[in-house]
Amino acid sequence: MIHYHSQQIEIYANQVAKSGNPLCGDSYFIYETTDYFICVLADGLGSGELANESADAVIAAVVENHHEDVDELMRLSNESLQHKRGAAVAIMKVYLERQEFEYSCVGNIRFYLYTETGKLTYPLPVRGFLSGRAQKYRTQRFVYESNCKFIVHSDGLNLMNVKSLLSKDKLASIADILEEESMQSNDDCTFIVGSLL
């Protein structure tokens, strides 16, 4: 499990390949600048080498262009998947000073945001997947409160009682539970759990 901590954000991330596979069909990228934090999760269709190739193509496109807005990053991600198997993709870009973020998702990646007051936000993804063909995106904008928590995860993780899980005080405890759940999965499985401080 990876742990990242700065003045404005704390993250735990973990990835498990489908049993027996040397390569995971999911890829992710987290990066922070003085102005923004970006979090991307790509779940290549299927599993194994071709799924990994698709997921990695998305991440490479975002790494090169992370300064762009989420709409443009989704377009570039889609473009990167021409002649590849395809991928579900979720991108969250957090503007730290104004405490706002943009979020867009195509496919079966889940995202939850939980505030200290107990409010759970769950933006619905656009159905389908990115494959280089023309695709509609829906970028949503949210404000967030200090000390809110979030989870982004691929469909290899099946979570129940997300609100109860995110209400736990310690982020490390939530990450441990998610890691344990990941080990039970029979699919590629990735989660990123964080707190915006």
Q: Which CATH number fits domain 2-196: 3.40.50.720, 3.60.40.10, 3.90.400.10, 3.30.470.20?
A: 3.60.40.10
Q: What percent of the chain has pLDDT over 70?
A: 100
Q: Compute the average pLDDT of residues 30-37.
A: 97
Give residue 145's pLDDT. 93
pLDDT at 27 over 80: yes
User: Residue 90: how many CB atoms within 10 A of its CB?
Assistant: 26
Taking the C-alpha atoms of residue 35 and residue 106, their distance in angstroms, rounded to an integer, is: 26
In eight-state DSSP terms, residue 34 is S
Give residue 71's pLDDT. 97
pLDDT tens, residue by residue, 60-98: 999 999 999 999 999 999 999 999 999 999 999 999 999
pLDDT tens, residue by residue, 135-183: 999 999 999 999 999 999 999 999 999 999 999 989 999 999 999 999 9
Taking the C-alpha atoms of residue 79 and residue 139, their distance in angstroms, rounded to an integer, is: 17
SS3 117: coil
19 confidence band (pLDDT: 50, 70, 90): confident
Taking the C-alpha atoms of residue 149 and residue 136, their distance in angstroms, rounded to an integer, is: 28
Give residue 20's pLDDT. 76
In eight-state DSSP terms, residue 140 is E
Q: Compute the average pLDDT of residues 13-34.
A: 95
Taking the C-alpha atoms of residue 38 and residue 52, their distance in angstroms, rounded to an integer, is: 21
Q: Compute the average pLDDT of residues 113-120.
A: 95
In eight-state DSSP terms, residue 81 is T
Taking the C-alpha atoms of residue 39 and residue 21, their distance in angstroms, rounded to an integer, is: 25
Cβ(50)–Cβ(44) under 8 Å?
yes
Taking the C-alpha atoms of residue 104 and residue 149, their distance in angstroms, rounded to an integer, is: 18
pLDDT at 189 over 90: yes
Domain range summary for the chain, segments of one domain joined by +: 2-196
Q: How far lies 124's CA from each of 84, 140, 174, in Å? A: 25, 10, 23
